[in-house]
Amino acid sequence: MKKDVFQAIADPTRRAILSLIAIHAMTPNMLAQHFDTSRQAVSKHIHVLKQTQLIKQEQSGREIYYQLNPTRMKQIADWLEPFYQLWEDRFSQLDAELKKAKTKKS
């Protein structure tokens, strides 16, 4: 059963893993060094990220490197886009109200 991508990014450890591999590909051992959990726990998080296709794996010799899947991340960004515009509009409205209030005080 495939997990939902938003369920996957809801976990702070998985978001941290995504941030780490966004910079450069890493092995599970390299990733595990960044967390105060077991290598097995990190592997479970990696498994969820693989199921949701947020990360891709590449074999290099005996090592497996995980890297960010930018296509899948773009799908998340596209879903969030309308909310960015909503927030920008509201911040603009707030700025306008603050300017009005400041002008009235002067």
Look at residue 9 in the predicted model and tell me its pLDDT: 94
b/e map 25-51, b = 16+ CB within 10 Å? bbebebbbeeeeeeeeebeebbebbbe
Nearest to 55 by CA among 88, 106, 8: 8
Helix (H, G, I), strand (E, B) or coil at 71: helix
Residues 44 and 75 in one domain: no
What's the pTM? Answer: 0.77
Q: How many domains, in total, are found in the chain? A: 2
Report the CATH number that the domain containing residue 5 is assigned in CATH. 1.10.10.10
Residues 30 and 64 in one domain: yes
Look at residue 2 in the predicted model and tell me its pLDDT: 64
Residues 60 and 41 in one domain: yes
| Per-residue pLDDT tens digits of the chain, which is 106 residues long | 567 899 999 999 999 999 999 999 999 999 999 999 999 999 999 999 999 999 999 999 999 999 999 998 888 899 999 999 999 999 999 999 999 888 887 7
Give the structural domain span for 74. 70-106
Residue 102 CA to residue 106 CA, distance in Å, equals: 6
Look at residue 13 in the predicted model and tell me its pLDDT: 97
Residues 45 and 10 in one domain: yes
